[in-house]
């Protein structure tokens, strides 16, 4: 290796480095891999140099290379990175990439140590250091690779001089593994031919797996990227492609190491963070559109592009980009916007600056085959990633402890962007179901955590992975939406705009945003009762949220930390004693009242008289739950039954969700919560139905193995009958209902009617599926209904139906269709089918790695599959953990998913046993999830014990 790499004739990158810089100081040295992790204290010595200098292995732990954060001594300015991914395996069967990189950095504080991140890269040449100023560069004494902290430590004989710039040059080789992190490979088949894509996922800490770099978000620099690749492929990166290679009077097609390759050079990036870099080599196709001078392109497998699957994404991107330009009042910072769908991708999407990567299901849409849910996912994820192009990429958080601001913000404004592209959908309402209600369930646990963490608490890569959780995304979105609402959108956007302008190409902490919002408040007529910082500290620095209780008789209004299990105590103290400044929007019998601020634990001013009903937290803009005195609950139940239209549709969903959760926490009677579902008999709107079904789902989880099951099925079946008939009349199951959310509710009607045994429903579904099995080339099932139909048919069927679904799964060329079949196969009722399916999840030729955990979770949500999935995961934990990356955030989903049904003492013991048995392997980013599962199971046990009787009686006689 090493020698000769990339050097052709007289022109090579090394030659350029020598010509550009001062005299290079190449010395003999050794590269030593310190084996901090391994038990035998043996050093692996890589003798790339003439002299081998042994380096002591037992380092004191306060050495800089044992710290997880870089010292502030050096500051990177520019990188030149050239990478050559090999899309065919080498002689030993390994897929590799080769690279060379030079980084120019400034010395901020004198030091004789260069610490730079490098993970799983093998140096193929001795790194060299060049001084760019007048003084010569110090001589390199030794180089040590620290595998645990992922550094290359370069020890110098003398010190670097503060204020001077230096250039470090490295050549290396890395594995292009199928591990979904850093520079990795994705594989797929097209017309029977295996294709390989080289692609990247850097966030959070994997740029160091592609080339040596100062891999922290505040270490921004300019990147010059060059990719070598087969002439039949296309190379993409953050910058625009240079068509002419102007800096080398050389052709673009060259011969390197006897291989004919194309060299693609990209325009230098803006000043940016390493985690936002992307490099991709593929033979994908694309479609494009130019808006003003901006080039917008969508890339995907050629087959998908030819089938038009990129058209929808292309059609909404321009609109959304224009919307954000207005919203931020900053032009889109780059000359192009590429978006690409990858067959293997761990997250949903990644906002790499100018080259956004997606899972196929998050970008590709097929008019005939994809559902409206698929479409909504695409438009919201696109909006989310485009929002980051400014908020996150142009202005970046200083460290990962503030991730919630980055992700919470994008998760909020994705609704605004999507609404611009699909203005008839009322999509902004759905944040209440998708984010607010969803995160309430987690944030009500004593083991929750505050949005903001201290910088020192988030250090190691797996700690960083762990902050990519529902709290950061959904609670972040919820509290920012609340803030925007009480400041008014005008004031909020004004503060946001000056913040972006002031910090562009720079890094911030979250309080920088508060400061700019405060300035906007001060120059407006908006008058929140406390400063932005004072109000927000209470939502950001303490975990959880309040339940506000309004007593309409006394006028008293109080707040209390809402905990699902009232017997638990929050794991951590709060300097604010779990009190909040709560903005309360409210209505008194349809007459909207001025915003009311609850600034203490108890206040007395909310006077109501007579039989007026009161409703608070209008449209759930506030991040809190509401409870009332019994009389007001009765009045609300009455309004729901008699004139539900006087309550906004979002609040009809809220009343159900609040009531069910208050009941779970023992604050109101369970029967009162159940009574909030009585009005559903005449309700046809999606949000209340979805809210009820989500909450009843918990009852199914707890009771579907008990005697409660039968009466509960009867009750739910009766309620859904009206809805099923409504959609039968409206659509005859042939047509689409007009509204976006009506289309969702049509699916609910079918799914629930079938699962409660409605014969009209089961006959319909059976007929459709049989028709399809008879003629596999023509699928007669409407796109929106497929998930529900497939699941019902496979649940009712046996091996024949399952195998048919598997065959269709393997054949499908639209990723969202594959996903529907993959989820539906988990609905099977025969244990052996489910066990066989579980085995498939660990075979990446059958189920892609990116889909393994979600498939196991689907199987676990089936009552038959749950114990099978639990046994399977326990038996295979070590393998799953190692193969499927304990660092990836799907691990917390996996643990929460397979344990959510747990409600017996026996299951709790098993869970504790599992935790203890695997302590030596660990749970990676699932650590917190294990704790939460134990807490949830404990709460479930108590809840079932206290409620089973009552619930059974109520379902038998629902009043
Ligand atoms: C990096 O590459 C650019 C051209 O892409 C060149 O102008 C510059 O001199 C190079 N810098 C170094 C330090 O090699
Ligand atoms: C890097 O070196 C290690 C240890 O010699 C070896 O196992 C690994 O395969 C090498 N990686 C590549 C991509 O050559
Ligand atoms: C490089 O080679 C490819 C394939 O042979 C060819 O299509 C392309 O035009 C060549 N480019 C240049 C600049 O010569
Ligand atoms: C970035 O912001 C800091 C203050 O937060 C400031 O000191 C620094 O000069 C800024 N850097 C640039 C490049 O604007
Ligand atoms: Zn994001």
190 annotated active-site: no
Same domain, 307 and 361: yes
**173 lies in some domain:** yes
Structure confidence at residue 189 (pLDDT): 92
pLDDT at 610 (0 to 100): 67
User: Do residues 279 and 298 both lie within one domain?
Assistant: no
Which residue's structure tokens are 């295996």?
194
Longest alpha-carbon distance in the chain:
94
CATH number for position 939: 1.25.50.20
Ligand 2 pocket check for 173: Cβ under 6 Å: yes
Q: Provide the token pair at 682.
A: 């005449």
Ligand 1 atom 9 nearest Cα: 20
* Cβ atoms of 196 and 95 closer than 8 Å: yes
Q: Report the pLDDT averaged over residues 150-178.
A: 95
Closest CA to 241 of 254, 259, 229: 229
42 and 102 fall within a common domain: yes
CB of 102 sitting under 6 A from ligand 1: yes
Q: Residues comprising the binding site?
A: 384, 388, 407
User: Quick one: which ligand is closest to 241's CA?
Assistant: 1
Q: Is 231 in the pocket of ligand 3 (CB under 6 A)?
A: yes
Q: What's the pLDDT score for residue 609?
A: 67
Ligand 4 mean position to 514 CA, how many Å? 17
Nearest ligand 1 atom, CA 265: 5
* Extended strands (E) in 562-694: 582-588, 591-598, 602-603, 614-616, 625-628
* 353/870 Cα distance (integer angstroms): 40
Closest residue to atom 4 of ligand 2, CA basis: 122
Atom of ligand 1 lying closest to residue 80 CA: 1
| Ligand 4 centroid from CA 69, angstroms | 20
Cβ of 627 less than 6 Å from ligand 2 = no
Q: Which among 7, 181, 183, 170 has a CA at the least distance from the CA of 95?
A: 183
For a mutational test of ligand 1's pocket, the pick from 18, 81, 133, 224, i.e. the residue with the most ligand atoms closer than 8 A to its C-beta, is 224
Residues recorded for the chain: 959
Residue 310 lies in a domain: yes
Residues with CB under 5 A from ligand 5 (ion): 407, 410
Question: Measured in angstroms, how far is the CA atom of residue 296 from the centroid of ligand 3?
Answer: 24
Nearest to 543 by CA among 648, 674, 404, 383: 404
User: For residues 577 and 647, what is the distance between their CA atoms, to the nearest angstrom?
Assistant: 34
Best residue for ligand 3 mutational test, from 233, 245, 248, 253 (most atoms within 8 Å of Cβ): 253
**Strand pairing category for 222-229 and 74-85:** parallel
Which residue's alpha carbon is at the smallest distance from atom 6 of ligand 3? 231
Can you tell me whether residue 169 is helix, strand or coil? Answer: strand
323 Rama sector, left if φ>0, alpha if ψ -120 to 50, beta otherwise:
alpha
The finding on whether 167 has its CB within 6 A of some atom of ligand 1 is yes
Asked if residue 237 lies in contact with residue 214, where contact means CB atoms within 8 angstroms, the answer is no
Omega before 651 within 30 of 0, i.e. cis: no
The answer to whether residue 461 is domain-embedded is yes
> Residue 401 CB: number of other CB atoms within 10 A?
22
Residues 278 and 292 in one domain: no
CA 286–ligand 1 middle distance (angstroms):
30
Gap from CA of 121 to ligand 2 centroid (Å): 8
DSSP 345-369: -SSSEE--TTEEEEEGGGT---TTT
Q: Is residue 847 part of a domain?
A: yes
589 phi, psi to nearest 5 deg: 40, 60
Q: Considering the chain, what percentage of its residues have pLDDT values greater than 90?
A: 77
Please give the model's pTM, rounded to 2 decimal places: 0.89
Beta bridge partners of 358: 341, 349
Residue 518, pLDDT score: 97
**Ligand 1 contact, 263 CB (< 6 A):** no
Regarding the beta carbon of 251 and ligand 3, being less than 6 Å apart is answered: yes
User: In degrees rounded to 5, what are phi and psi of residue 633?
Assistant: -55, -45
Quick check: 659 and 676 in contact, CB under 8 A?
yes
| pLDDT reported for residue 607 | 67
Q: What is the mean pLDDT of the chain?
A: 89
Q: Is the pLDDT of residue 11 over 80?
A: no
pLDDT digits (tens, 9 = 90+) for 375-425: 999 999 999 999 999 999 999 999 999 999 999 999 999 999 999 999 999
- Cα(231) to centroid(ligand 3), Å: 7
Please list the residues that pair with 156 across neighbouring strands: 140
Residue 242 burial by Cβ neighbours in a 10 Å radius (0-12, 13-18, 19+)? middle
Atom 6 of ligand 2: nearest residue by CA position: 122
Last residue of some domain: 512, 540, 568?
540
User: Is the domain of 373 the same as that of 489?
Assistant: no
Place of tokens 């009787």: 949
Say yes or no: CB of residue 241 within 6 Å of ligand 3.
Answer: no
Determine, yes or no, domain membership for 84. yes
pLDDT in the model for residue 58: 54
Please indicate, yes or no, whether residues 57 and 184 belong to a single structural domain of this protein.
yes
**Same domain? 293 vs 185:** no
| C-beta separation of 67 from 87 below 8 A | no
Q: What pLDDT does 376 receive?
A: 96
Per the structure, the complete domain to which residue 448 belongs is given by 398-540
| Ligand 3 nearest-atom number relative to CA 262 | 1
Q: Are residues 128 and 249 in the same domain?
A: yes
- CA dist., res. 529 & res. 186, Å (int): 54
pLDDT of 713 higher than 50: yes
Q: What is the pLDDT of residue 57?
A: 52
Specify if 129 maps to a domain. yes
Q: Is 122 in the pocket of ligand 2 (CB under 6 A)?
A: yes
Q: How far is CA 530 from CA 594, 600, 624, 684, in A?
A: 17, 12, 19, 42
Where residue 151 sits, what CATH number does that domain have? Answer: 2.60.40.1730
Question: Which residues contribute to the annotated binding site for Zn(2+)?
Answer: 384, 388, 407
**What was the pLDDT predicted at 115?**
97
Q: Is the C-beta atom of 113 inside 6 A of ligand 3? A: no
Both structure tokens of 74: 């050096």
CA 279 to ligand 1 center in whole angstroms: 18
What is the rounded distance in angstroms from the CA atom of residue 289 to the CA atom of residue 310?
12
- Looking at all shown ligands, the one closest to residue 232's CA atom is 3
Nearest atom (ligand 2) to Cα of 174: 13
What whole-number percentage of the chain has pLDDT above 70?
92
Q: For a pocket test of ligand 1, which of 11, 20, 130 has the largest count of ligand atoms closer than 8 A to its C-beta?
A: 20
710 Cβ closer than 6 Å to some ligand 3 atom = no
**Based on the domain organization, do 275 and 167 belong to the same domain?**
yes
**Dihedral, 298, 301, 304, 309 alpha carbons, nearest 10:** -20
pLDDT beyond 60 at 458: yes
Task: Kindly tell me if the per-residue pLDDT of 32 is higher than 60.
Answer: no
Of 217, 250, 283, the last residue of a domain is 283
Which pair of structure tokens corresponds to residue 365? 């849409």
Beta carbons of 373 and 396 less than 8 angstroms apart: no
Please work out whether the CB of residue 252 comes within 6 Å of at least one atom of ligand 3: yes
Mean pLDDT of 545-562: 94
Identify any residues that bridge with 78 across adjacent strands, giving them in sequence order. Answer: 104, 222
**C-alpha 357 to ligand 5 mean position (Å):** 12
pLDDT tens for 743-782 read 999 999 999 999 999 999 999 999 999 999 999 999 999 9
Angle at 334 between CA 330 and CA 335, to 5 degrees: 120
What does the pLDDT read at residue 885? 63
Which atom from ligand 1 is nearest to the alpha carbon of 226? Answer: 5
373 and 340 in a common domain: yes
For residue 234, what is the enclosing H or E element?
strand 234-237
Residue 142's nearest CA partner among 261, 259, 59 is 59
Q: Is the dihedral of CA 779, 780, 786, 788 positive or negative?
A: negative
Does ligand 3 lie within 6 Å of residue 253's CB atom? yes
Same domain, 254 and 308: no
Q: For the chain, what is the total number of helices (H) and then of strands (E)?
A: 30, 32
* Ligand having the closest approach to the CA of 251: 3
Distance CA 197, CA 278 (A): 13
Helix (H) or strand (E) holding 940, with range, is helix 927-956
Token readout for 787 is: 């998930």
Q: Name the active-site residue from 270, 376, 385, 685.
A: 385
Determine the atom of ligand 3 nearest the C-alpha atom of 251: 13
Q: Say which residues have a Cβ less than 8 Å from residue 539's Cβ, sequence separation at least 6.
A: 451, 479, 482, 545, 580, 623
Q: Which of 231, 233, 243, 255 to mutate to test the pocket of ligand 3 (most atoms within 8 A of CB)?
A: 231
Is residue 31 in a domain? yes
**194-253 residue pLDDT tens:** 999 999 999 999 999 999 999 999 999 999 999 999 989 999 999 998 754 444 434 477
Q: Which ligand is nearest to the CA of 101?
A: 1
Comparison of pLDDT for 33 and 214, the residue scoring more: 214
Reduced 3-state DSSP string for 396-445 = EECCHHHHHHHHHHHHHHHHHHHHHHCCCCCHHHHHHHHHHHHHHHHHCC
The pLDDT tens digits of the residues spanning 611-643 come to 789 999 999 999 999 999 999 999 999 999 999
Indicate which residue's Cα is closest to atom 10 of ligand 1: 80
Give residue 26 CA to ligand 1 midpoint distance, Å.
20
Atom of ligand 1 nearest to the CA of 104: 13
- Of the three residues 397, 417, 442, the one that is the final residue of a domain is 397
Lowest mean pLDDT among 22-31, 324-333, 430-439, 503-512: 22-31
Q: Name the domain count of the chain.
A: 4
**Does residue 20 line the site of ligand 1, with CB under 6 A?**
yes
Return d(Cα 27, Cα 16) in angstroms, integer: 19
Indicate whether residue 104 lines ligand 2 (CB < 6 A).
no
Q: Given the CA of residue 167, which atom of ligand 1 is nearest to it?
A: 13
Is residue 262 lining ligand 3, measured as CB closer than 6 Å?
yes
Same domain, 278 and 290: no
Integer Cα distance of 200 and 202 in angstroms: 6
Q: Name the residue with higher pLDDT: 259 or 578.
A: 578
CATH code assigned at 379:
1.10.390.10
pLDDT of 17 reads 32
Nearest atom within ligand 2 for CA of residue 122: 1
Q: Is 849 left (phi over 0), alpha (psi -120 to 50) or beta?
A: alpha
Q: Say what the pLDDT of residue 553 is.
A: 87
| Nearest CA owner, ligand 1 atom 11 | 80
**For residue 763, is it within any domain?**
no
If one residue of 14, 16, 21 were mutated to test the ligand 1 pocket, choosing by the most ligand atoms within 8 A of its CB, it would be: 16
């Amino acid at each position: 290796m090493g020698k000769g790499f990339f050097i052709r004739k007289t022109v090579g990158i090394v030659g350029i480095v020598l010509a550009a810089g001062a005299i290079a100081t190449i010395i003999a040295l050794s590269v030593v891999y310190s084996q901090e992790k391994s038990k035998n204290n043996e050093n692996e010595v890589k003798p790339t140099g003439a002299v081998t200098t042994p380096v002591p292995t037992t380092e004191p732990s306060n050495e800089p290379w044992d710290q997880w954060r870089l010292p502030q001594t050096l500051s990177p300015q520019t990188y030149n990175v050239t990478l050559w991914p090999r899309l065919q395996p080498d002689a030993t069967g390994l897929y590799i990439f080769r690279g060379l990189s030079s980084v120019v950095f400034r010395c901020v504080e004198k030091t004789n140590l260069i610490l730079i991140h490098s993970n799983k890269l093998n140096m193929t040449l001795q790194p060299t250091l060049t001084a760019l100023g007048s003084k010569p560069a110090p001589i390199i004494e030794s180089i040590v690779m620290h595998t645990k902290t992922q550094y290359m430590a370069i020890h110098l004989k003398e010190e670097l001089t503060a204020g001077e710039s230096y250039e470090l040059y490295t050549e290396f080789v890395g594995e292009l593994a199928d591990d979904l992190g850093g520079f990795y490979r994705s594989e797929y088949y097209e017309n029977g031919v295996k294709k390989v894509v080289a692609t990247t996922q850097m966030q959070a800490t994997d740029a160091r797996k592609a080339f040596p770099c100062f891999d922290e978000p505040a270490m921004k620099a300019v990147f010059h990227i060059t990719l070598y690749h087969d002439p039949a492929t296309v190379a993409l990166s953050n910058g625009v492609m240079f068509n002419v290679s102007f800096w080398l009077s050389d052709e673009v097609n060259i011969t390197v190491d006897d291989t004919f390759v194309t060299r693609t050079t990209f325009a230098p990036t803006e000043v940016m963070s390493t985690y936002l870099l992307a490099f991709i080599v593929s033979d994908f196709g694309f479609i494009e559109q130019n808006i003003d001078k901006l080039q917008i392109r969508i890339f995907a497998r050629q087959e998908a592009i030819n089938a038009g699957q990129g058209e929808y994404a292309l059609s909404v991107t321009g609109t959304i980009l224009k919307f954000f330009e207005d919203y931020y009042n900053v032009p889109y910072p780059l000359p192009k916007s590429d978006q690409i769908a990858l067959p293997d991708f761990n997250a949903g999407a990644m906002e790499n600056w100018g080259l956004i990567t997606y899972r196929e299901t998050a970008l590709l849409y097929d008019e005939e085959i994809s559902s409206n849910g698929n479409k909504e996912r695409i438009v919201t994820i696109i909006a989310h990633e485009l929002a980051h192009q400014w908020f996150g990429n142009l202005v970046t958080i200083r460290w990962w402890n503030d991730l919630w601001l980055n992700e919470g913000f994008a998760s909020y404004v994705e609704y605004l962007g999507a609404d611009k592209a699909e203005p008839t959908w009322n999509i902004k309402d759905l944040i209440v179901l998708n984010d607010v209600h969803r995160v309430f369930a987690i944030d009500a646990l004593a083991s929750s955590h505050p949005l903001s963490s201290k910088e020192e608490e988030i250090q190691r890569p797996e700690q960083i992975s762990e902050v990519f959780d529902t709290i950061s995304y959904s609670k972040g979105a919820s509290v920012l939406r609340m803030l925007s609402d009480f400041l008014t959108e005008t004031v909020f956007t004004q503060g946001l705009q000056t913040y972006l302008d002031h910090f562009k190409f720079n890094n911030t902490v979250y309080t920088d945003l508060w400061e700019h919002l405060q300035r906007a408040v001060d120059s407006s007529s908006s008058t929140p009762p406390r400063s932005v910082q004072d109000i927000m500290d209470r939502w950001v620095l303490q975990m959880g949220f309040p339940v506000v209780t309004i007593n309409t008789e006394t006028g008293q209004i109080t707040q209390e930390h809402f905990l699902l299990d009232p017997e638990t105590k929050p794991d951590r103290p709060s300097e604010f004693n779990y009190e909040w400044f709560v903005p309360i929007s409210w209505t008194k019998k349809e007459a909207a009242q001025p915003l009311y601020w609850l600034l203490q634990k108890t206040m007395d001013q909310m006077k109501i008289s007579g039989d007026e009903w009161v409703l608070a937290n209008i449209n759930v803009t506030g991040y809190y739950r509401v409870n009332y005195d019994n009389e007001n609950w009765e009045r609300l139940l009455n309004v729901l039954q008699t004139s539900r239209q006087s309550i906004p549709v979002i609040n009809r969903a809220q009343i159900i969700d609040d009531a069910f959760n208050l009941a779970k926490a023992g604050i109101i009677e369970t029967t009162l919560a159940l009574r909030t579902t009585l009005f559903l008999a005449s309700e046809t709107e999606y949000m209340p139905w979805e809210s009820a079904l989500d909450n009843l789902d918990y009852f199914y989880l707890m009771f579907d193995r008990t005697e409660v099951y039968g009466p509960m099925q009867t009750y739910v079946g009766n309620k859904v009958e009206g809805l099923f008939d409504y959609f039968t009349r409206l659509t005859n199951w042939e047509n689409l209902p007009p509204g976006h959310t009506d289309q969702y509710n049509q699916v609910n009607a079918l799914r629930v009617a079938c699962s409660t045994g409605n014969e009209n429903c089961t006959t319909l579904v059976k007929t459709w599926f049989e028709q399809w099995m008879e003629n596999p080339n023509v699928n007669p099932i409407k796109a929106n209904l497929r998930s529900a139909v497939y699941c019902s048919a496979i649940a009712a069927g046996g091996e024949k139906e399952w195998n048919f679904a598997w065959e269709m799964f393997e054949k499908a060329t639209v990723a969202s269709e594959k996903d529907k079949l993959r989820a539906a196969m988990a609905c099977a009722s025969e244990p052996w089918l489910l066990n066989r399916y579980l085995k498939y999840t660990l075979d990446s030729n059958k189920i892609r790695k990116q889909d393994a955990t979600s498939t196991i979770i689907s199987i676990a949500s089936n009552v038959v599959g749950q114990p099978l999935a639990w046994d399977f995961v326990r038996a295979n934990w070590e393998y799953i953990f190692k193969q499927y990356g304990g660092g990836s955030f799907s691990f917390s989903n996996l643990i929460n998913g397979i344990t959510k049904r747990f409600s017996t003492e026996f299951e709790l013991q098993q869970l504790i046993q599992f935790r203890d048995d695997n302590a030596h392997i660990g749970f990676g980013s699932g650590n917190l999830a294990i704790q939460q599962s134990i807490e949830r199971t404990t709460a479930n046990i108590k809840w079932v014990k206290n409620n089973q009787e009552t619930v059974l009686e109520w379902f038998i006689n629902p009043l």
